[in-house]
Structure 1
Amino acid sequence: MSPQNERETFRGLAVKRRGSKPWERDLKRYLRGPRHRWIVTAPFAFRPSLRRELEDLALQSIEKHGAGFCFEARISEIYPVLMRLQCASRLFLLVDSFRAGAAEELYRRIVTLPWELLLHDGIALSVHVSLRRCRIEHEGAAEHTLYQALERRAEEAGLSLSVSNDAPSQMIELFGEDNHFELRLDACGEQLYRRGYRPLVGPAPIRENIAASLLQWYRIECGPFSLFVDPMCGSGTFPIEAWAMASHFPLAGHRRFSIFLWPVFSKAAWNWEAHRLYGEADITAADEPLFWGSDKDPKMVHISRLNGERAGAAGNIGFLHEDFFHLSPQDLFSSDHVSRVEGNRGALLAINPPYGVRLKGDDNLFVRIIDRKKRIWQGWDLLLLAPRSLALPPGKKSIDFENGGIPMKCILF
Structure 2
Amino acid sequence: MAKIELIATAAFGLESIVARELKKLGYDQLVVENGRVTFTTDELGICRTNLWLRTSDRVLLKMGSFEAQTFEELFQQTKSLPWEEWLPEDANFPVQGKSIKSKLYSVSDCQAIVKKAIVERLKEKYGRSWFEETGPRYQIEVALLNNRVTLTIDTSGLGLHKRGYRQLAGQAPLKETLAAAMIQLSFWNRDRALIDPFCGTGTIPIEAALIAQNRAPGLKRSFAAEKWPNIPKAAWQEAWQEGLDLWERSAPLHIYGSDIDPNALALARTHAVEAGVEGLIHFQKLPVAEVRSRFKYGHMIANPPYGERLGDTKDVEGLYLELGETFKGLDNWSLHILTTHQFPERLIGRRWDKSRKLYNGRLECHYFQFFGPRPPREPYTKDDKNRKA
Normalising by the smaller structure, the TM-score range is: 0.7 to 0.9
Q: What displacement does 1:254 show?
A: 2.2
* 1:234-266 CA distance string (max 9 Å, x none): 111101112222332111122222212322123
Matched with 2:205 is: 239
User: 2:43 touches 2:235 (CA, 8 Å); kept in 1?
Assistant: no
Are 1:348 and 2:299 matched, yes or no? yes
Are 1:358 and 2:292 matched, yes or no? no
Q: What displacement does 1:66 show?
A: 4.7
User: 2:65 touches 2:151 (CA, 8 Å); kept in 1?
Assistant: yes
Aligned length: 359
Over 3 Å counting, the alpha-carbon distance change for 1:390 and 1:131 in structure 2 is closer
Matched with 1:378 is: 331
User: 1:349 touches 1:383 (CA, 8 Å); kept in 2?
Assistant: yes
SS at match of 1:355: coil
Q: Residue type matched to 1:253 in 2?
A: L
* 1:133-184 CA distance string (max 9 Å, x none): 45x554443322211112223344257254x9xx864321223445543221
Q: Which runs of 5+ in 1 are unaligned?
A: 1-32, 331-337, 342-346
Q: Of residues 128, 131, 137 in structure 2, which corresponds to 1:160?
A: 131
User: 2:182 touches 2:301 (CA, 8 Å); kept in 1?
Assistant: no
Matched with 1:28 is: none
Over 3 Å counting, the alpha-carbon distance change for 1:305 and 1:383 in structure 2 is same
Alignment identity in percent?
27
Counterpart Cα distance in 2 of 1:103 and 1:122: 25
Q: TM-score, normalised by structure 1?
A: 0.78
SS at match of 1:44: coil
Matched with 2:375 is: none
User: 2:15 touches 2:32 (CA, 8 Å); kept in 1?
Assistant: no
Q: Of residues 85, 96, 99 in structure 1, which corresponds to 2:53?
A: 85
Over 3 Å counting, the alpha-carbon distance change for 1:100 and 1:402 in structure 2 is closer
Over 3 Å counting, the alpha-carbon distance change for 1:309 and 1:378 in structure 2 is same
User: 2:291 touches 2:326 (CA, 8 Å); kept in 1?
Assistant: no
User: 1:251 touches 1:311 (CA, 8 Å); kept in 2?
Assistant: no
Matched with 1:73 is: 41
Counterpart Cα distance in 1 of 2:95 and 2:79: 17
User: 1:37 touches 1:71 (CA, 8 Å); kept in 2?
Assistant: yes
Higher helix share: 1
Q: Residue type matched to 1:370 in 2?
A: G
User: 1:201 touches 1:234 (CA, 8 Å); kept in 2?
Assistant: no
User: 1:126 touches 1:169 (CA, 8 Å); kept in 2?
Assistant: no
Are 1:401 and 2:370 matched, yes or no? no
Are 1:301 and 2:269 matched, yes or no? no
SS at match of 1:252: coil
Kindly report which structure 2 residues correspond to 1:296-335, keeping only aligned pairs within 5 A, or say none: 296-330=260-294
Q: TM-score, normalised by structure 2?
A: 0.83
Matched with 1:211 is: 179
C-alpha RMSD of matched pairs (Å): 2.6
Counterpart Cα distance in 1 of 2:365 and 2:332: 26
Kindly report which structure 2 residues correspond to 1:5-404, keeping only aligned pairs within 5 A, or say none: 33-119=1-87, 121-130=90-99, 132-134=101-103, 136=104, 138-156=106-124, 157=126, 158=128, 160-162=131-133, 169-177=137-145, 179-219=147-187, 226-284=192-250, 286=252, 289-330=253-294, 338-339=295-296, 341=297, 347-356=298-307, 358-359=310-311, 362=315, 363-375=317-329, 377-389=330-342, 391-393=344-346, 394-404=351-361
